[in-house]
Amino acid sequence: MTDIPAGSFPTDKTQAAPATKVRGYWGSVWNRLRYDYVTLFCLGLITVIVLLAVFAPWLSPMDPERSSMANRLRPIGHAKFTLGTDEQGRDMLSRLLWGGRVSLLMGIVPVIFATLIGGTFGIIAGYYGGKVNMVIMRTMDVFFAFPSVLLAVAIAGSLGGGIGNQMITLTVVLIPPICRVAETATAQVRSLDFVDAARASGASTYSILTNHVLINVLSPVLVYSSTLVSISIILASGLSFLGLGVSPPTADWGLMLSTLRQSIYVQPLVAALPGLCILVTSIAFNLVSDGLRQAMDVKA
Amino acid sequence: MNEMRSPDLSQVEAQNEKPDAYVKVKDLQVRFVSREATVKAVNGVSFELKKGEVLCVIGESGSGKSVMMRSLMQLHPKKRTRITGEMKIGEHDIMTATDKQMSELRGSTVSMIFQEPMTALDPLYTIGDQIAETVMRHEKVDRDAGWKRALELLELVRVPSPERRLKAYPHELSGGLRQRAMIAVALSCRPSLLLADEPTTALDASVQIQVLVLLRKLQREMGMSMIFVTHDLGVAAQIADKVAVMYAGRIIEYGNARDVLMHPEHPYTRAMLSSTIKDQKKGAQLETIAGTPPDLRALPDGCSFAPRCRYAGPDCFETMPDEVTDGRGHMARCAKVNVVRGLLAFEPGIPAAPALA
Amino acid sequence: MTDVIETAPTSPDPRDRGGPAQPMLIVENIKKYFPIRAGLLNKKVAEVKAVDDISFYVLKGETLGIVGESGCGKSTLARLLMYLIEKDEGHLVLDGDPVGEKTGTSLDGLRRSLQMVFQDSYSSLNPRLPIEASIAYGPKVQGTREKAAKEQARALLEKVGLKAERFGQRYPHELSGGQKQRVNIARALALDPRLLILDEAVSALDKSVEAQVLNLLGDLKEQLNLTYIFISHDLHVVKYISDRVLVMYLGQVVEIGPVDDIYSNPMHPYTAALLACQLSMDPDERVESAPLAGDPPNPVNPPSGCRFHTRCPYVEDVCMSKMPSLGDTLRADPGEHLAACHMVHAGSGHSKAPNPDSRPLPLWQGETR
């Protein structure tokens, strides 16, 4: 405490050392996340759900597609079928595990593709502005004009059923909102002084986009995309429910909900199971993205 | 430096009489608590302010000046803020006031103006709506009376063509007019205490003077007390009766505006004045204060300015010096300041190894 | 009138091309109008004359101060000089070479010679990059190897008074305002420029920090042989740092001249009013009425004639109809003091204009030329 500072120039020795150690951006994000128990719990839950889906072939006690007329609509807690059976006597536990594979795939893969495509278009539109922005964003607006469910039904209807087509449908539906978020975030970053400083040093547009814009746009876009995972799962379930998604007898949470709906008066609990799975998964994804948003909101 | 002032006896008496202070703050401490650290923003601030007086709080960023003022209106998030001490405005005790009492106080008794009017004005309502709404809420009058008062207020703050401006939205006004509109909103219920948080800092010099002249005039006419936070000594000279200089959450010098600004005694105030650029010789090396303000998460023991003070001796690093006050009410919190013939005098002795190169 | 401009640097600069007498930068009739579009078809309904036909030069080694109220176009001018915004009309000549033309300097050449220090704000540094990377970015773009650029960045940090091993890996939000501004300066210096444009570079800083940064700028100018264009609204700071001062009002230059002449003997009433707006530290010297009424008028539809006539205390008929001329700033001697006001031009028709026969002016004491 007794050292008396030397001159302020050329080296300022008294520049206050921070009490906390220096961490990078992602370090400080993790530090905030660490104390957010709700988000951590949901992250754990998602991990469990994903693991269950991945290891479904080894975990499921029976063949999910083998029906048995004798064992139709058994209740939950049955000696042989732990979670009961559906209207064709297939084991619910096995079907839920296998169905999770399809549903999670439908939740995650279209969001990844939509983020890549929509994000790229959004960043381009936001950075260049003017006519480029007009063309891209007006095109997005055309898709935006329809309610997402209606749009999904229309596209899926014209493409036909099947897992591949369903993924294309969902990707197309999810591109416009991501593009819009990326565009807004980019336009904001674009107007900041450090981008001008980079331009003043003679940097090419590509270099500015990858070095300066992308890292600043990434976190809002990622946060937004993570909220879309649950929407994508629900949309996929909706499509399957309407018969526009995967075709029976493949297990899928939405499809299971659809086919079990006639049995709701006979075995309400069993009929509610796929719905419960959709609900829990989508809530978990939503809460995680909420937590991410808070953790990434570093005032820098 | 002191020969110029002789102890003014009448003022000494006036000081002793102490006509009841309107604002009393005693040993105010404000701490912001987070998981990682506790920020000691205000560390024992005490002052009193009479009715109709203007106190300027001067300090650099991080000195706690705004934090101190905002706690007078309970504007800090309750969850993460620990406030201790006493705060009284008139007969109202701010420390114990409930949320409901506070929202009645805000606007009617205490009002606040900010640096950036766009954050204080609602972009979705016209200026007239915003003033009338405040008047209607606090004075329980009808809409017509509210609008009439709004018009009067815009005339009061000298907005040209006020009828037209009543129907304008904040974004349609220029910076200076917006600031006037915000002052009008703040004055709408005739507050007896106006808190001003750097209200002229973002303005051009030409507009800044207009706003300062206006504020001073309104303050006199309405007999308001005012606490004015600024980092600009020139602004303080324009408007202050009393000046308090804050450093690291403490008032380190206090007194009549003239005493503090023209005859500063605390080394920090002196250094701040001499590092302010004003008619220095072109190209000459400017005097600076070495280093940066202390980290409020880990304040040093002793005088918080000592690490940067060129006169600091070993004692300065050990205990926080006491306040030294002279007959004129000029106070400095420095171990090297004494009262000599009734006035504060800075007696550095032999300066230690000069801190500045 | 003595020449206040310091003459060429003592040691010749290897980067010098035009010789010591050749101005560092000549700005010739530069213009920028921003269209205001509205309606469904984005039709142009008006334009903001942000920079309206401005000409001046900056000598090697001097500091040119640019002052004016917000909205006068001084920041637009800075961005035009940096080619961050495209100019509508005009030419730049950098050390004798016209910029962006076939025979002259390329844009890249300009960028290496001309850099800008932005106002300290949350947006002046990329919040997601360690400051070392921010500084090294420019040289890397210009082809310096990653490792060399990093080393150069660390050397620059030391040069602006920040310990590289302690600060290099920090992020902007972990620095104070003054420290960030030092980093901004280091980034601008990374390409070894000859002319720095400082756009309100110290305006947002606390007073004691401002003094530190100004000292740093003074030392760097000497060490690195720099020329400054210093843009600020703070007249005290401009007076301290500048050799010559240019006063802008609504996109035009209203007065230009050596700093001491302008401050002791302002010829344009706007300059005089700006100077009167400086606050005294003495509580006994309070301003009782504002020297300049009203806000600066909207640059969308500037007043006819002299743009200042709406706020000028000496306004006469001629001011409303005829725009006063500043004179040829490019041919003028650096020591010359020019003002665009009818009151200083003999025979302009203003009652206070000097009689063509008798020289001394009635309004501003002392001679002007």
CA distance A248 to chain B (A): 52
Dihedral sign computed on CA atoms, order B124, B126, B130, B132: negative
Name which of A1, A12, A18 is nearest B291 (Cβ-Cβ): A12
Domain-embedded: residue C259 = no
Same domain, C237 and C285: no
> Is the residue at A7 inside a domain?
no
Using CB atoms, which chains have 3+ pairs under 8 A with B?
A: A, C
The complex scores an ipTM of 0.82
For residue C16, being part of any structural domain is answered with no
Would you say the C-alpha torsion B279, B281, B283, B284 has a positive or negative sign?
Answer: negative
Cross-chain residue pair A35–B35, CB shorter than 8 Å: yes
Highest mean pLDDT among A201-210, A238-247, B340-349, C114-123: A201-210
The pLDDT tens digits for B70-92 are 898 888 888 889 999 999 888 88
Contact residues, A window 24-53, toward B, CB-based 8 Å cutoff: 35
Residues C204 and C323 in one domain: no
Give phi and psi for A152, each to the nearest 5. Answer: -60, -45
Does the structure show a pLDDT above 70 at C25? yes
Neighbouring chains to A with at least 3 Cβ pairs closer than 8 Å? B, C
Peptide bond into C296 cis (omega under 30): no
pLDDT of residue B200: 85
Q: Which domain holds residue B130?
A: 120-190
What is the Cα gyration radius of chain A? 25
Q: Residue C235's domain spans which residues?
A: 25-242
Same structural domain for residues C220 and C323?
no
A72 located within any domain = no
Q: CA–CA separation, B91 vs B98, rounded Å?
A: 14
Question: Does residue A140 lie in a domain region?
Answer: yes
**What percentage of chain C reaches a pLDDT higher than 70?**
91
Residue-level pLDDT at B17 = 46
**Does the beta-carbon distance from A7 to B291 stay under 8 Å?**
no
- pLDDT grade for A9, boundaries at 50, 70 and 90: very low
Most confident of A188-197, A231-240, B5-14, B292-301: A188-197
Q: Is B147 part of any domain?
A: yes
Chain A residue numbers touching B357 (CB-CB < 8 A): 6-9
Q: Give the pLDDT band of residue A4 (cuts 50, 70, 90).
A: very low
Nearest by CB to B206, from C69, C282, C283: name it.
Answer: C69
Tell me the three state secondary structure of residue C64.
strand
CATH number of the domain that residue A39 is part of: 1.10.3720.10
The residue range of the domain holding A98 is 31-58+85-296
Q: Both C153 and C295 in a single domain? A: no
Residue C247's pLDDT band (boundaries 50, 70, 90)?
Answer: very high
Which chain A residues are Cβ-neighbours of C158 within 8 angstroms? 10-11
CB-based contacts of C184: which residues, under 8 Å, 6+ apart?
A197, C117, C118, C120, C124, C125, C201
Confidence band for A20, pLDDT divided at 50, 70 and 90: very low
Residues C268/C255, Cβ–Cβ less than 8 Å? yes
A215-235 pLDDT, tens digit each? 889 888 988 888 888 888 888
Give the DSSP letter string of B16-56: HH-PPPSEEEEEEEEEEE-SS-EEEEEEEEEEEE-TT-EEE
Q: What is the pLDDT of residue A149?
A: 84
Choosing among A14, A194, A206, which should be mutated to test the C contact, i.e. which has the most C CBs within 10 A? A194
What's the 3-state SS for chain A? Answer: CCCCCCCCCCCCCCCCCCCCCCCCHHHHHHHHHCCCHHHHHHHHHHHHHHHHHHCHHHHCCCCCCCCCHHHCCCCCCCCCCCCCECCCCCEHHHHHHHHHHHHHHHHHHHHHHHHHHHHHHHHHHHHHCHHHHHHHHHHHHHHHCCCHHHHHHHHHHHHCCCHHHHHHHHHHHHHHHHHHHHHHHHHHHHCCHHHHHHHHCCCCHHHHHHHHHHHHHHHHHHHHHHHHHHHHHHHHHHHHHCCCCCCCCCCCHHHHHHHHHHHHHCCHHHHHHHHHHHHHHHHHHHHHHHHHHHHHCCCC
Mean pLDDT to the nearest integer, B142-166: 86
Q: Does B137 fall in a domain?
A: yes
Q: Is the pLDDT of residue B9 over 50?
A: no
pLDDT at A7 over 90: no
Residue A163: partners with Cβ closer than 8 Å, 6 or more residues away: A102, A105, A106, A245, A246
Q: Are residues C367 and C311 in the same domain?
A: yes
The strand pair at B110-113 and C97-98 is best described as unpaired
**Domain annotation covers residue B213:** no
On whether residue C17 sits in a domain, the answer given is no
Q: Are B105 and B91 in contact (CB under 8 A)?
A: no
Assigned token pair, B267: 């080394």
Residue C8 falls within a domain, yes or no?
no
Instruction: Domain count for chain A, please give it.
Output: 1
- In chain B, which among 53-112 make CB contacts under 8 A with chain C? 60-61
Cβ separation A201–C79 shorter than 8 A: no
**How many domains does chain B contain in total?**
1
C84 contacts on A by Cβ (under 8 Å): 196, 199-200
pLDDT of residue C11: 57
Average pLDDT value for residue range A111-116: 94
User: Tell me, what's the pLDDT at C339?
Assistant: 92
CATH of the domain at C238: 3.40.50.300
193-252 in chain B: CB under 8 A from chain A: none
pLDDT value, residue C4: 46
Structure tokens at C55: 């000409």
Q: Please enumerate in sequence order all residues whose Cβ is within 8 A of that of B87, keeping only pairs 6 or more positions apart, or say none.
A: B24, B25, B26, B28, B71, B72, B93, B94, B95
Do residues B47 and B325 make contact, with C-beta atoms less than 8 angstroms apart?
no
Establish if B178 belongs to a structural domain: yes
Q: What mean pLDDT comes out for the span B310-329? A: 86
Contact B291 A8 (CB under 8 A): yes
pLDDT digits 0-9 by tens, C35-73: 888 776 777 788 888 898 999 999 999 999 999 888 888
What CA–CA distance (Å, rounded) separates C146 from C137? 9
Min Cα separation C118/chain A (Å): 7
| pLDDT score of C358 | 52
Contacts B–C by Cβ distance under 8 A = 135
pLDDT tens digits, one per residue of A58-106 = 887 777 777 777 777 777 777 777 777 777 778 888 888 888 888 888 8
**A14: pLDDT strictly greater than 70:** no
What CA–CA distance (Å, rounded) separates C126 from A193? 9
Tell me, what's the pLDDT at B193?
A: 92
Q: At what angle do helices A268-296 and A92-128 cross, to 10 degrees?
A: 30
Average pLDDT over chain C, rounded to an integer: 85
Cα gap C218→B286, rounded to integer Å = 10
Give the count of domains, chain C: 2
Interatomic CA distance for residues B75 and B171, integer angstroms: 25
36-55 in chain B: CB under 8 A from chain C: none
Q: What is the pLDDT of residues C278-325, one digit of tens each?
A: 888 888 888 888 888 877 777 788 888 899 998 888 888 889 988 998
Residue A22 in domain = no
- The SS3 of residue B267 is helix
* Tokens (6 digits) for C119: 């106002």
Are C90 and C133 found together in one domain? yes
Peptide bond into A249 cis (omega under 30): yes
Distance CA A95, CA A252 (A): 8
